[in-house]
Amino acid sequence: MSINEDHKKFMTEAIILSQESVSRGGGPFGTVIVKDGKVVGRGVNRVTKSNDPTAHGEIVAIREACANLNSFRLDDCVLYTSCEPCPMCLGAIYWSRVKEVFFANTREDAASIGFDDALIYDEISAPLHDRKIEFRQIMREEAIPVFHSWTKKEDKIPY
């Protein structure tokens, strides 16, 4: 796969955003989402600035792109991020249906500066009873009827 000048341009923007984030007291992560050659979403890590553990650059950019496109799907979009997405962001990328992702730094690079997601990757594949945070299922009988009503709903918006 060749990396064309557009890919380099948008990745450069993501890297610049990551540097600006550091300069403003945020984490060293920046993301740009592009559709049809135009930026539709930008994001930087705002976790400590907003006291929101979900405010990673990718999540912020996905939220902005979805708002700008008035859609919860980003089917025809490309995401450029300064670092390989963490497990949470990876999940959001799949849920948003971005078609392609380019990243610069690796998860190992992130771990080397204190952003280690290895525990989360390990926890995802661990059986519930072996996880570090206790997970207990309760009241399924009360909750499952809501799922059944969803399946019968005729005007639902599937995603």
What is the set of active-site residues? Answer: 58
Which backbone phi and psi does 32 adopt, to 5 degrees? Answer: -130, 135
What would the two tokens of residue 40 be? 């539709």
Pairing of the two strands 77-83 and 38-44: unpaired
* Residue corresponding to tokens 């997405």: 85
Distance CA 50, CA 57 (A): 12
DSSP 35-69: ETTEEEEEEE--HHHHT-TT--HHHHHHHHHHHHH
What would the two tokens of residue 7 be? 């890919």
Per DSSP, the three-state class of 76 is: coil
